[in-house]
Amino acid sequence: MGEKTNLQLGVVGALFLSVASSVSIVICNKALMSNLGFPFATTLTSWHLMVTFVTLHVALRFNFFENKPIDMKTVMLFGILNGVSIGFLNLSLGFNSIGFYQMTKLAIIPFTVLLETIFLKKQFRRNIKFSLLILLLGVGIASITDLQLNFVGTVLSLLAIVTTCVGQILTNTIQKRLNISSTQLLYQSAPYQAAILFVTGPLVDQFLTKKNVFAYKYSNVVLGFILLSCLIAVSVNFSTFLVIGKTSPVTYQVLGHLKTCLVLGFGYTLLHDPFTSRNILGILVAIVGMGLYSYFCTLETKKKQPGDHSAPQVKEKDIATPLLAGKDGYQDKENHETKKLSKDSLV
């Protein structure tokens, strides 16, 4: 009983840390990109990951966690996939309208459900699907304003959806099947994610913003906000892997939409962003969907046998499938929220 209580407290703590750090980094990046004119989101993400790796390396030296070797091919492909997904998400935002980009984010949940059903043989109950539908409807009402389609943008959005879903599923699968912690997986994969974004980030940012990150004039204030953003990102990255490992990719996406609602609310109260009755209606509908999702997940948890620690929203058949056939930079998703709040950073 005590072990079960500790597990529940761990999940609640991970969820709270994820929400608090994600909302904090959105506010920080909002100031950095909109007010201070630093639009280089992809490059900034590579710095986030480098600081995350250095922080974890220091923590390892002080024995805060134990390093566990992972197959080099697995962790390398996982890290590269995560880095590529961030690039595709940035390009998707650059080539599409804000409304279509929001549609892309909403599509991640149903596509994740589809992939887990097909490849991991998970069965999502009807009430879970119903609650997710209400959630997506609410977030859509609150955040989607315009829909402009183009071929290149659509292709990039599809690639962003696929790579993001696969990366998040692998984040959960690798931790459970290799019996490693979120910290161990993040420590092993962060260098590869940082490397690919460090190389491609300046090119992607220059293509999207028509500005060179190396020619930017860095003031002390800008450097201070970049440092603050990198420090918050350590918590964002850590909590992301922790939440996905302790729950599931779908639950993490549900949490992500809660962050979207909070960001809209904070944008109105703190930054005086435009806020309409449609935003309020959408947020209320989304909250109802989140409440139903939590309620149905709680019922599923109570029905499970003692000792069954699988994700609460699904029934998973016992199956052995390869980890990789032969994905943080998740805080960059929070950068997208910042860019959504200020579209002038895309120009």
The pTM of the whole model exceeds 0.85: no
- Rounded-to-integer distance, Cα 29 and Cα 38, Å: 9
Note whether residue 292 is domain-resident. no
- Say whether 315 sits in a helix, a strand or coil: strand
Widest distance between CA atoms in the chain = 59
Note whether residue 113 is domain-resident. yes
Note whether residue 175 is domain-resident. yes
Half-sphere exposure of 143 (CA within 13 A, CB side): 32
Note whether residue 221 is domain-resident. yes
Contact 236, 29 (CB under 8 A): no
pLDDT, tens digit (0-9, with 9 covering 90-100), for 266-292: 777 766 667 788 888 999 999 999 999
Note whether residue 310 is domain-resident. no
By residue range, what is the domain housing residue 15?
Answer: 11-124+148-248
Q: Which of 141, 100, 103, 136 is nearest to 276 (CA)?
A: 141
pLDDT, tens digit (0-9, with 9 covering 90-100), for 233-269: 999 999 999 999 988 999 999 999 888 888 777 777 7
Note whether residue 162 is domain-resident. yes
pLDDT, tens digit (0-9, with 9 covering 90-100), for 284-342: 999 999 999 999 998 887 876 455 444 444 444 433 333 343 334 445 555 655 555 44
How many domains does the chain contain in total?
Answer: 1
Tell me how many degrees the CA angle 89-91-94 measures, rounded to the nearest 5: 110
Backbone dihedral angles phi then psi of residue 124, each to the nearest 5 degrees: -90, 125
Note whether residue 1 is domain-resident. no
Tell me how many degrees the CA angle 193-310-122 measures, rounded to the nearest 5: 85
Q: Which of 219, 208, 170 is nearest to 330 (CA)?
A: 170
- Rounded-to-integer distance, Cα 344 and Cα 110, Å: 30
Note whether residue 161 is domain-resident. yes
